[in-house]
Amino acid sequence: MTDLHGFWLSLVDSGHALLDFMTAGGVVMWALAGLCVLYWTLVFERVWFIRRVFPRWVEARRQAWAQLGDETGSWQRAVRAAWLAQAQQQLAGPLRLSKTLVAMCPLLGLLGTVSGMIAVFDVLALSGTGNPRGMAAGVWQATLPTMAGMVLAITGLFSLARLERIARLALDRLADQLRHD
């Protein structure tokens, strides 16, 4: 029972530390957190789509392709090209929004830098250089969103590259399945 109690206390302490971290970074940190949640929701949706929904769509096209017969006419090539274009749009189209969100992360981090430096300048204007604590808080507020924005952008770039590769492989498999031998 003591281990469970200790676990809950450490969890609460971690929650307080996270809240303190977010508050220290200012309002931009909350915007970055929202952006992060939105981005990873989109990533998990794409993974779900590629693993669960897209294979059913591919199977329906593969069965329809098998019913077309062994002839290779221009209309069969046009059907194949249309299906591949649809698949490309379904797989890669929604990734554009994810790319935009990744690009926004460092920009929001820079906005946090500017707002933190404004806080430093406010302290300097009000009390001169005699208040190092006030200046340190502003520098801290400027540094945290920059760091968070860069971390989110880097992880976003890696996950996007992986998603694009998975989508490309799924499209290549479909192209292989829609060939007449």
| Lowest mean pLDDT across 72-76, 146-150, 160-164 | 72-76
How far is the C-alpha of 91 from the C-alpha of 54, rounded, in Å? Answer: 8
- Digit-coded pLDDT (tens) for 76-97: 888 888 989 999 999 988 899 9
* DSSP H stretches of helix in 49-131: 54-67, 74-92, 95-127
- Digit-coded pLDDT (tens) for 111-120: 988 888 887 7
**What is the C-alpha radius of gyration for the chain, rounded to an integer number of angstroms?**
25
How far is the C-alpha of 111 from the C-alpha of 35, rounded, in Å? Answer: 14
Percent above pLDDT 90 for the chain: 41
In this predicted structure, the answer to whether residue 181 has a pLDDT above a threshold of 50 is: no
Question: What pLDDT score was predicted for residue 98?
Answer: 93
Closest by CA position to 93, among listed 171, 173, 18? 171
Q: How is residue 122 written in tokens?
A: 């406010």
Provide the 3-class DSSP secondary structure of residue 175.
helix
How do the domains of the chain map onto residue ranges?
2-177
